[in-house]
Structure 1
Amino acid sequence: MSLDGPANEPIRPQRREKSEGWWGTRHTVTFMLFLGMANAYIMRTNMSVAIVAMVNHTGLLMLNSNSTDNKTDTRHSTSLPDGNYVWESDVQGHILGSFFYGYVLTQIPVGILSKKYGAIKFLGYGMLINSIFGFLVPFAADWGYVWLIIVRFIQGLGEGPSVPCTHVLLSKWIPVEERSRMGSFAYAGAQFGTVIAMPISGWLSASLIGWPSIFYIFGAIGTLWSIAFLAITYEDPGCHPGIHPVERKYIQRSIWGTTHNLNKKTIRIRRETELEDITIPWMSIFTSLPFWAILIANSGHNYGYDMLMTELPTYMKQILHFNIQANGVLSALPYLAMWFLSVGMSYIADGLLRRGCSLTIVRKSFNTIGLFGPAIALFAAGYTGCYRWLTVSLLTIAMGLNGGIYSGFKVNHLDISPRFAGILMAFTNCAANVAGLLGPMITGYIIKGEPTEENWRIVFTTASLVYVISAIFFAIFASGIRQKWDSEDKVETTKTETVELSIKE
């Protein structure tokens, strides 16, 4: 797709030019982003399992005995070890949500700054801060829950750049015809991290070394990834010293287009430098229905996703009464299903595009699967609480089908605005995480003192309704066509660079 072409021209797959070998530099970048997303979600989900081991459940039962003796379901009861902290469900909700307070604050500033200064350092150093403060979680818990909230808030600040910066790098590294599967693979790291974090966290919590080891071990892993990422990853193909010239040409031609000098047999690739001064079309962005379709879909998805991610271990304990080891494993099953299905559906999506299907139809179709599927399954799960394995199966189906969003709204930013994809993601993900904040907070207040099947049914039904509304809005207003306000003639640059690459033909 030429950047100079019509702004409303649909994206068409182009003839693929491979670099030497089956593995290119873009695959290494995507794999590092996959690992980065895995680390990010490990650091945000490990608290969900750890808090089950941290809380003194016997103390809470005694505290709420007057209101819960006749209401709490005790079927399938198992004895659970008690932790040191008597935190009510609303306090637990604030602890679980505090990470997202910080996470939301850095989304938009980093999305804008990464356009000018690049995404590598924001992502690498942000994750380093997140990992280092992970070591402080056990100490902060002993100091008091307010200190724990502060530490988790700072971790959220560090992780805030992860999604917008990942989108910026994908927009520079991934050819149009590989966007669904490569983007899905990178973001599938979220499910991989969750699948790793929950069972291992459950095992560590029940082991002799206890729940603090969760934060020490994963903090060390995150620190190592941050160092490796900063050392081997580059901002774009034009500045990578080791990329094969044919692969560079293939990526740049697919994303930005090229002009040819037939006499010199060279390809001239104009790319924006980090010193670029651009005019961002704010008014056009905020009056664009396709942009709002992504924002609404992202927000609806995050409400349900973050509610389940943070509260599912608690539900497994309070209603289904699984022990801590089983809790971690079974809480991870839905995300394992989402991981596999998201990758599988992304290959189907790219296959449909190669066969000439409309990009708009593909995005809307997979997004509908990704949001309506969980809505139906969650609604049904609200009425099966006493049947443990049926409930687990429904929750697994819900999250598995949710994988369709990675070929839906998640990569749709790149379709409608490859130039400002990182900025769009910053705004939509910021709004989404505000919605995500509400999930655990609302859940905490609904079940406070009364963790009954009826109250959990309200939690699931609310999430189901949010999914449905956001799915309908996206199906009506979304688009796969690059928007007019993203075209090159709307952008003013003070410095560009022409890179001439001699290509043997």
Structure 2
Amino acid sequence: MATEGTLNTEAVQDNGFDFLYKGPKGPKIGRRHIQILLTAFGTGIIFSTKTMISLLLLAITSQQSSNKNIPYYPSIGVNSGMVMSSILWTSMFFQLFSGHVGKEYGSKWLILATASLNAVAFCMIPTAASIGGTTGIIVCRLIQGVAQGSYTPLTACIGGAWIPVEERSRMGYIGTIGITGSIIVATLVTGIIAESPIGWPGAIYIFGALNGCWCILWALFGYNNPDVHPSITVEEKMYIKTSLQQETLTKIPTPWVKIFTSIGVWGIILSQIGSNFIVTMLSTENSQFVSLGLKFDISENALASGLPTLLSIACGVVMAFLSDYLITHKILRIVNARRCFQMIGVTGAGLSLVLSTFVPKEHHYWVIPLLCLESFFTMACMVGGSDISGYDLSPMFASVIYGVSGTLSDAVGLFAPLIVDWVVYDKSNSSQWTLVFGIAAIIGITPSIFFVLVASDKRQEWGDYHAPPENIRRLSISSITHAVVKE
């Protein structure tokens, strides 16, 4: 017989993986969707200001605009790898603790501050280039690193408070759309604008303005968690809180020692280092490879970079729903789904990257299907692999886990463009690109094997919080009868 304060088995079903909520979930487009869409949009804009530098450098270092008055600085191209990696120098330090700070004090206004700082620093690049050349751009990128390094773990605070267990792949994919969409827009639009009369500075100011507009939207509609949202329905709030089995208003000290000594956490961290290295190589060096190695012009380059990403969005929808379907229908346990998506994704992306270097220059358009495969497999990692495993171990401390993994990932990832500078001394030489991309594939695949061996889907005792009986009773009085029953 169920008593007051017990979970209704019709509402919450233990399927061997976690608790799956079976009661009413509120509106089909709920406040949780709006929060994740907002953060995804912001992530996409901010990420675009990071990745578009690869195409921008082609325009900054050579005359691409139809307007001959647009300045360009050939000397900056000598240190292009340093310019592209400099954003990681500062971002890795700020990622480590920003997730902890966001968990302790709330992430909304911190997200707004970091996004605003990124917009200002990005818009300063044309002025900085004219005054300080390479050094000026690097200074702007360092400031962007402070902003972006802080921003990413803070958004994990939002995900940990708003995303139910049953929707992790789908809701995680919404965030991925922000990133992939930004790559499409940044590559296609940047290439077009760079050749237009307003030139490469115009591309910077347009994306900087978009960044600023998003800050206004976030200030108006962003919220830390369901408990502080003024218009969320009782049903949706209970769905989220029952699924996560946690009270968002409760403060628990960050268990740093237990986090750093957890083998499951290290599986996530190491696999993130590997997959991030491949993503960094793709985002910073693919434009250089197809432009200088395969002789694409800047418009063709934009097409070769944007089209595969566009196709990957459609594939990502399928993979996101497939991941959740396999779990909720008990075909795969959560941990096995994470293992499969991570290993298939990182292996496919690494091999596709290497195979692209064997495309003959006289048939260089053949590289586009391989670039499509790279994007497809990278998407598999993002929507179903270790990218969301931190929420399985602890939704409450996922931001801390991703802060640590982001710090170490960036520390290793900053070597991706530097390795290109060291190894590829002739950027038209395909064999040198093969060596570089082969190194990236090995760095990506090896730690993912470790993740497969140690991955877990069990909520960790240090990251677990169940509402005490008095809170359960209080919630039951609030007409949440589908999740809590009274005798």
Q: So what's the TM-score if we normalise by structure 1?
A: 0.85
* Number of equivalenced pairs: 459
The answer to whether 1:341 aligns with 2:284 is no
Moved more, 478-487 or 231-240: 478-487
The answer to whether 1:399 aligns with 2:399 is no
Structure 2 equivalent of residue 350 of structure 1:
324
Aligned partner of 2:153 among 164, 169, 178: 164
Give the deviation of 1:476 after TM superposition: 1.2
The answer to whether 1:230 aligns with 2:205 is no
Structure 2 equivalent of residue 53 of structure 1:
59
Aligned partner of 1:11 among 11, 14, 18: 18
Moved more, 191-200 or 285-294: 285-294
SS across alignment from 1:189:
helix
Structure 1 residues 115-137: Cα deviation after superposition (integer angstroms, max 9, x where no partner):
10111112121011101221111
Structure 2 equivalent of residue 84 of structure 1:
72
**Counterparts of 1:171 and 1:281 in 2: how far apart (Å)?**
16
Give the deviation of 1:425 after TM superposition: 0.7
Q: Once superposed, which parts of structure 1, at least 4 consecutive aligned residues long, lie more than 4 Å away?
A: 496-501
**Counterparts of 1:425 and 1:285 in 2: how far apart (Å)?**
11
Q: Residue 90 and residue 339 in structure 1: after superposition, are their counterparts in 2 closer, same or farther (change >3 A)?
A: farther
Aligned amino acid, residue 380 of structure 2:
G
SS across alignment from 2:411:
helix
SS across alignment from 1:160:
helix
Structure 2 equivalent of residue 244 of structure 1:
233
In structure 2, stretches of 5+ residues that fail to align are: 1-5, 482-487
Aligned amino acid, residue 155 of structure 2:
T
**Aligned pairs for 1:438-453 within 5 A:** 438-449=415-426, 451-453=428-430
**Counterparts of 2:127 and 2:425 in 1: how far apart (Å)?**
26
Give the deviation of 1:431 after TM superposition: 1.1
Structure 2 equivalent of residue 254 of structure 1:
243
SS across alignment from 2:389:
helix
Structure 1 or 2: more helix by fraction: 2
Aligned-residue RMSD, C-alpha = 2.6
**Counterparts of 1:497 and 1:115 in 2: how far apart (Å)?**
23
Structure 1 equivalent of residue 484 of structure 2:
none
Structure 1 residues 407-428: Cα deviation after superposition (integer angstroms, max 9, x where no partner):
1101100001122111001001
**Counterparts of 1:498 and 1:193 in 2: how far apart (Å)?**
45
The answer to whether 1:23 aligns with 2:12 is no
Structure 1 equivalent of residue 39 of structure 2:
33
Structure 2 equivalent of residue 103 of structure 1:
91
Give the deviation of 1:57 after TM superposition: 8.5
In structure 1, stretches of 5+ residues that fail to align are: 59-80, 258-269
Give the deviation of 1:209 after TM superposition: 0.9
Structure 1 residues 112-158: Cα deviation after superposition (integer angstroms, max 9, x where no partner):
11110111112121011101221111111111210110011101211
Contact residue 89 and residue 447 of structure 1 kept, 8 A: no
The answer to whether 1:484 aligns with 2:461 is yes
**Counterparts of 1:106 and 1:442 in 2: how far apart (Å)?**
24
Aligned amino acid, residue 397 of structure 1:
L
**Aligned pairs for 1:135-174 within 5 A:** 135-143=123-131, 144-174=133-163
Q: Residue 34 and residue 49 in structure 1: after superposition, are their counterparts in 2 closer, same or farther (change >3 A)?
A: same
Give the deviation of 1:90 after TM superposition: 5.3
SS across alignment from 1:479:
coil
SS across alignment from 2:74:
coil
Contact residue 89 and residue 445 of structure 1 kept, 8 A: no
Structure 1 equivalent of residue 352 of structure 2:
377
Moved more, 171-180 or 449-458: 449-458
Contact residue 301 and residue 467 of structure 1 kept, 8 A: yes
Contact residue 275 and residue 445 of structure 2 kept, 8 A: no
Q: Residue 354 and residue 10 in structure 1: after superposition, are their counterparts in 2 closer, same or farther (change >3 A)?
A: closer
